[in-house]
Amino acid sequence: MQDVNAAPTTASMPARLLNRSIGKKLLMSLSGLVLLGYVVGHLIGNLQIFVGQNALNAYAVFLRSIGAWLWIIRAFLLGMLIIHVWFAVKLYFENRSARPIRYKRKVYQEATLSSRTMIWTGIGVFLFVVYHLLHFTFIVTNPQYSHLEDALGRHDVYSMVILGFQNYLISAVYLVSIAIVSYHLVHAAKSMFQTWGLNDTNFEKILRPATVIFAWLILLGYIAIPIAVLAGIVKLPEGVI
């Protein structure tokens, strides 16, 4: 039995908070918000493709021109991603072991159902990001893109994206992955409201539909790019084959 008179544990306040589910969930929602900020910023940058080759390539050059800051931001985002994934996996296994006897009939509560899908959509998002980095950042899967240059001698990110999405299989992978990202966001918002104690409040009643609309905007914004390429609305510049 627990000794109620025992001296308080020597573990620091943050360490004790981290050992509790709520501490892990808070860290997950904060890191998730930072990653969401990136997803929004990245979408705004990518939409430059509709302005044209110069706009998108200038944006890519601008990102590289911030030099050391780019690496600091990348390291920070990577840290956030690691925290997010690490605690997601930890909470997943803790929840499983808290229920040692498996239910005979699978009767899931609403919250349990969304947390069950979160781990799988989360894995889907993670695998997509790995593929995406190999595709467009490290240019490993399609090394032929690395030699593309525009008239100003800049890396031709614009043509790289178009060439990428002209491939039906690659476009399909992106369309499915972006749908998974958006689905993950809707359910992440739900569990975030729970973590912050906002569920079933009037505030949440307004925020919930707002997050669904927001996730739809993210979905439509991102899928517009491969769709516009496949539909021939965004085309390769003259001379690029």
Which positions lie near ligand HEM, rule CB under 6 A? 39, 42, 46, 60, 74, 125, 129, 132-133, 136-137, 157, 161, 174, 178, 181, 222, 225-226
Closest separation in Å from C-beta 209 to ligand HEM: 23
Choose among 139, 119, 229, 92: nearest CA to 127.
119
SS3 205: helix
DSSP 124-136: HHHHHHHHHIIII
Residue with Cβ nearer ligand HEM (20 or 42): 42
Closest separation in Å from C-beta 74 to ligand HEM: 5
Closest separation in Å from C-beta 81 to ligand HEM: 8
Q: How far apart, in Å, are the Cα atoms of 234 and each of 48, 153, 165, 210?
A: 11, 21, 10, 30
Report whether 161 contacts 49 (CB < 8 A).
Answer: yes
Residue with Cβ nearer ligand HEM (185 or 192): 185
Closest separation in Å from C-beta 94 to ligand HEM: 26
Rg (CA), the chain: 22
Residue with Cβ nearer ligand HEM (39 or 212): 39
SS3 168: helix
Residue keyed to tokens 């931001």: 73
| Packing angle of the helix pair 53-65, 21-46 (nearest 10 deg) | 130
Closest separation in Å from C-beta 32 to ligand HEM: 12
Residue with Cβ nearer ligand HEM (108 or 216): 216
Residue with Cβ nearer ligand HEM (17 or 47): 47
Closest separation in Å from C-beta 174 to ligand HEM: 6
Residue with Cβ nearer ligand HEM (87 or 158): 158
Choose among 224, 235, 225: nearest CA to 159.
235
